[in-house]
């Protein structure tokens, strides 16, 4: 049975990933920095919940340190501060959670994954490819996650660790609520999405499940869109 840590595992996409992995018998440790989110998460067999802040080394060490085995790491923790990211402190915070937090967890998992010949899936975005309105820090962080993924894949292949990223399109979660509530932004996004709908967290989870599986044994350093065709148009 594979043991996998999912950061942001009690939020939108992370929770979808956690459910998908638990559904195929993985032992999932879903971590979040929000105690309220952990309290609200419905108990599910195969999913253990832990409080962990990806920006806090001691908190990350407390989760990864005691583990005797780890087969997978899925970095889903992320924030976006639409409209506020021109404030330099907000800019730095977004980079710290989305990019530095991803690297912090990759480093915390490295030795364990080298032993298990395990795999990492990072969460990039459409905004790894192009900039988004009002989100300069988020866009920069996601460009960074994409490049970090390729860099680690190249460096850690010798250790038997595969490192890939997903690039979700426009998925129905808390993060996109503001866009879905804004008719102008929502219509613009749907107009450019060939499948003409928002994605579901389970559809992202299915891609992550495959990337972590043996079926993806020759796949590393890739950034996979799951976007209803958004990047194709
Ligand atoms: N929703 C989308 O359309 C979309 C598209 C592309 C990429 N993404 C990315 O997917 C990931 C998940 O996004 P979502 O839409 O599910 O957002 P969400 O806001 O629903 O969930 C984010 C999760 O991250 C956790 N988190 C935030 N800061 C943290 C920290 N410091 N330490 C640990 N956990 C922390 C939250 O508690 C929450 O569980 C993010 O990296 C986001 O950038 C989302
Ligand atoms: O551009 C925004 O305001 C977003 O919310 C970005 C999306 O959540 C997502 O990352 C797009 O892939």
| CA gap 151, 156 in Å, rounded | 9
| Spatial distance between the Cα atoms of 80 and 176, rounded to a whole number of angstroms | 9
39 is written with which tokens? 């309290």
Q: Give the ligand whose atoms come closest to the C-alpha of residue 189.
A: 2
Atom of ligand 1 nearest to the CA of 12: 16
* C-alpha of residue 176 to centroid of ligand 2, in Å: 6
Pairing type for strands 47-51 and 72-75 reads: unpaired
Question: 116 C-alpha to center of ligand 2: Å?
Answer: 34
Active site residue 138: yes
Three-state SS annotation for 134-178 = CCHHHHHHHHHHHHHHHHHHHHHHHHCCEEEEEEECCECCHHHHH
Q: What is the pLDDT of residues 207-219, one digit of tens each?
A: 999 999 999 999 9
CA distance linking residue 38 with residue 165, whole number of Å: 25
d(CA 130, CA 142): 10
Residue 178's CB is within 10 A of a number of other CB atoms, namely 14
Q: Whose CA is nearest to atom 4 of ligand 2?
A: 176
Report d(CA 106, CA 149) in Å as an integer. 10
Give per-residue pLDDT as tens, 146-185. Answer: 999 999 999 999 999 999 999 999 999 999 999 999 999 9
**pLDDT, averaged across the chain:** 98
Nearest-CA neighbor of 50 among 69, 27, 68, 72?
27
| Ligand 2 centroid – CA 131 distance (Å) | 10
Asked if the interface predicted TM-score (ipTM) of this complex is over 0.90, the answer is yes
Domains of the chain: 3-174+201-226 (3.40.50.720)
Segment 38-72, tens digit of pLDDT: 999 999 999 999 999 999 999 999 999 999 999 99
Reply yes or no on whether the pLDDT at 205 is more than 90: yes
Give, for ligand 1, the residue of 6, 7, 9, 13 to mutate: max count of ligand atoms closer than 8 Å to Cβ.
Answer: 13
Cα separation of 1 and 23, whole Å? Answer: 12
The mean pLDDT of 15-22, rounded to a whole number, is: 98
Q: ∠14-190-80 over CA atoms, to 5°?
A: 40
Residue 1 has pLDDT above 90, yes or no: no
Which ligand is located closest to the Cα atom of residue 50?
Answer: 1
């Amino acid at each position: 049975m594979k043991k996998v840590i999912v950061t942001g595992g009690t939020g939108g996409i992370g929770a979808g990933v956690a459910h998908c992995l638990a559904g195929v018998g993985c032992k999932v440790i879903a971590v979040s920095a929000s105690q309220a989110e952990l309290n609200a998460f419905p108990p599910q067999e195969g999913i253990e919940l832990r409080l962990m802040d990806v920006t806090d080394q001691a908190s990350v060490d407390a989760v990864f340190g005691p583990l005797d085995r780890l087969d997978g790491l899925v970095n889903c923790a992320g924030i976006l501060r639409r409209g506020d990211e021109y404030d330099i402190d907000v800019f730095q915070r977004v980079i710290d959670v989305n990019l530095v937090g991803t690297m912090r967890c990759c480093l915390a998992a490295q030795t364990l994954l080298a032993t298990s010949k395990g795999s990492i899936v990072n969460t990039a975005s459409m905004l790894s490819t192009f900039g988004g309105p009002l989100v300069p820090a988020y866009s920069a962080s996601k460009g960074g996650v994409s490049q970090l993924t390729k860099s680690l894949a190249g460096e850690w292949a010798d250790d038997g660790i595969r490192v890939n990223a997903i690039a979700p399109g426009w998925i129905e979660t808390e993060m996109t609520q503001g866009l879905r509530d804004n008719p102008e932004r929502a219509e613009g996004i749907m107009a450019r999405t060939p499948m003409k709908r928002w994605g579901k967290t389970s559809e992202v989870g299915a891609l992550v499940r495959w990337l972590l599986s043996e079926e993806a044994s020759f796949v590393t350093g890739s950034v996979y869109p799951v976007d209803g065709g958004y990047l194709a148009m």
